[in-house]
Structure 1
Amino acid sequence: MPRHAPNHPVCRHCDGFPVVSITTGDRHRDGTRVTVQATCRTCNGTGHATPASLARTGW
């Protein structure tokens, strides 16, 4: 049976993918790529948006 997802709104800026790895084009000595991790600034890496009503009240 499928499990139900929590009822949290997904961040509009990252679409629920808050941390991504971006390749720089360089390579390490062993041949693997150099990557940089970027985190969504809007949701602070959670992937969920804060409802507007809670943001206004300061929750």
Structure 2
Amino acid sequence: MPQHTRPMPICPDCDGFPTVAITTGQTTAGGQRQTLTVTCRACQGTGHRTPAAALARSGK
């Protein structure tokens, strides 16, 4: 039987789109636009956040 798992919460900083390409407005020698690939720092490019309860489990 399949396991029922809860979906991981989507990162509120990137809304689930962890990697984006940003154009710089300049073109290369071949005529293509120069782009920068940027990854979300909050989720390290996964698009999901670990629930806070799982992170702060301590004590008795």
Which ranges in structure 1 are unaligned for 5 or more consecutive residues?
1-5
Name the Cα RMSD after superposition.
1.6
TM-score by length of 1: 0.82
| Percent of aligned pairs with the same amino acid | 49
Structure 1 runs of 4+ with >2 Å offset:
none
The one-letter code of the counterpart of 2:14 is C
TM-score by length of 2: 0.81
Question: What's the counterpart of residue 28 of structure 1?
Answer: 28
Which ranges in structure 2 are unaligned for 5 or more consecutive residues?
1-5
Larger Cα-atom Rg: 2
How many residue pairs match? The answer is: 53
